[in-house]
Structure 1
Amino acid sequence: MYVIVILAMIAGFLAMRLYSVLGKRTGHEQEPAPRPADERAKVTVLQPRPTTEATGDSVRLAEGLITPAAENGVRALIAADRTFDVPQFVDGAKGAYRMVLEAFWRGDREELAWLCDDDVRASFEEAIAAREADGHSLENRLVRIEKAQIVEASLNGRIAEVALRFEADIAAITRDRDGNVVAGSMTDAVGTNDIWTFTREIRSADPNWKLSETDEA
């Protein structure tokens, strides 16, 4: 059963963490203490649990977690990888959403490199560099994730892609180098709607899924 791994996430496996990849968002959660690289290496972004196999019923029973348009794609993933479990994948994706956001907000390039593919990482790093050049810092907080739902899934050869729609409330503040508030407010959360796509090579020994695309819903 896949668990979108990235630190110590969701109830038993990871505690996860974009302003919008290129200014598409304005949300945000308080920065947790960074973990050493060797400790983070012990976790995986989407980690299958080999002891249990999912079945087609996983799709039928995952009410509200999959849109009708994504059902066939999810069934194809389950047929190709019997450890793929919809509820656990969605839980893991929520953790990853939080983790990526928090890494971006605090400018943690190393963690973003671990969680994202090269294109998404490069976009984040460009935005971080621009922010730093302006002398700005983010004081953001992810208030809550209202909803996470698989809206598209596909298997292209060995490459599996799963896109999820996230509806979340984010509070954000931008400060200048002197600590003055440039924009935002921690008392007013902003609703965000995003679609993030995660990718993994099904037969890879690496169980991690990486963020490969972000967009506004």
Structure 2
Amino acid sequence: MNYSFEYIDIILLAMIAGFIFLRLRGILGKKTGFEGKMPTQFEKEFKKTEVSPKQINDNFDEETQREFLKGARIAYETIITDFSDSDNKLIASKPLLSKKIHDQFQEALLDRRNKGHFAEITFIGIKSAAIKTHKKIEESLEVTVDFVSEIITCIKDKDKKIISGNGEKIKTVYDTWVFSKNIKSSNPNWLLIDTIT
């Protein structure tokens, strides 16, 4: 049986939904802590791509890797900037997270809210993204990606006093994220299943 999936289409839909939601909130005058840059001209940058399990496991060639990394970059920026929302809710990134990661992030957001803290994150950009490993484990495909990004980040209290980080200094961040796709699942998403910082 030939399995295929369209991870870029799903990520694009999540990004477009998030963008529309944020635009509506901006029009209604509700302030959020989102300070990242939403990607533009999706149609020009990303195209529909079908990648079979065989391509991941046996023939993950340069073109396939480039297409995967395009989606992974979008997912990375979406998740990082979504985590800075002052509402302490994961909105745009929820479809991109496994239950385990979503619960971990939600717990961190709840802890932040209970302390009266909020994060401000300005996403400068991704300096590099490279596939570290790719493998098939039972019915799942897993791809590990090393990211190097530049971010301005700080945590503020309810009085907007900085308690950690620096609101003016660009910080280089090194992350290793693992994305997974169940080839037998009807869900076509690639999901973030682990993070190593």
Look up the SS of the partner of 1:186 in the other structure: coil
Say whether residues 1:108 and 2:89 are aligned partners: yes
2:36–2:123 contact (8 Å) kept in structure 1: no
Partner of 1:127: 108
Aligned residues: CA RMSD: 3.4
1:98 positional shift: 0.5
Amino acid at match of 2:139: R
1:184 positional shift: 2.4
Q: How does 1:65-214 map to 2 (within 5 A)?
A: 74-76=56-58, 78=60, 85-106=64-85, 107-214=88-195
Q: Structure 1: which 5+ runs fail to align?
A: 16-27, 34-46, 57-73
Q: Please, what TM-score do these two structures have when normalized by structure 1? A: 0.65
Look up the SS of the partner of 2:11 in the other structure: coil
Partner of 2:25: none
Amino acid at match of 2:49: R
Evaluate the alpha carbon distance shift between residue 101 and residue 175 of structure 1 in structure 2; reply closer, same or farther with a 3 A threshold. same
Higher helix share: 2
Evaluate the alpha carbon distance shift between residue 207 and residue 4 of structure 1 in structure 2; reply closer, same or farther with a 3 A threshold. same
Evaluate the alpha carbon distance shift between residue 192 and residue 94 of structure 1 in structure 2; reply closer, same or farther with a 3 A threshold. same
Mapped partners of 1:54, 1:135: distance in 2: 45
Residues 161-190 of structure 1, C-alpha deviations (whole Å, 9 max, x = no match)? 001000011101211112222222232111
Identical-pair percentage:
22
Residue of 27, 31, 35 corresponding to 1:30: 35
1:114 positional shift: 1.9
1:160–1:202 contact (8 Å) kept in structure 2: yes
User: Stretches of 4+ moved more than 4 A in 1?
Assistant: 7-10, 52-56
Mapped partners of 2:188, 2:154: distance in 1: 35
1:48 positional shift: 5.8
- Pairs aligned (count): 167
Mapped partners of 2:52, 2:11: distance in 1: 22
Mapped partners of 1:123, 1:9: distance in 2: 20
Look up the SS of the partner of 1:98 in the other structure: helix
1:88 positional shift: 1.1
Look up the SS of the partner of 1:179 in the other structure: coil
Q: Please, what TM-score do these two structures have when normalized by structure 2? A: 0.71
Mapped partners of 2:133, 2:9: distance in 1: 16
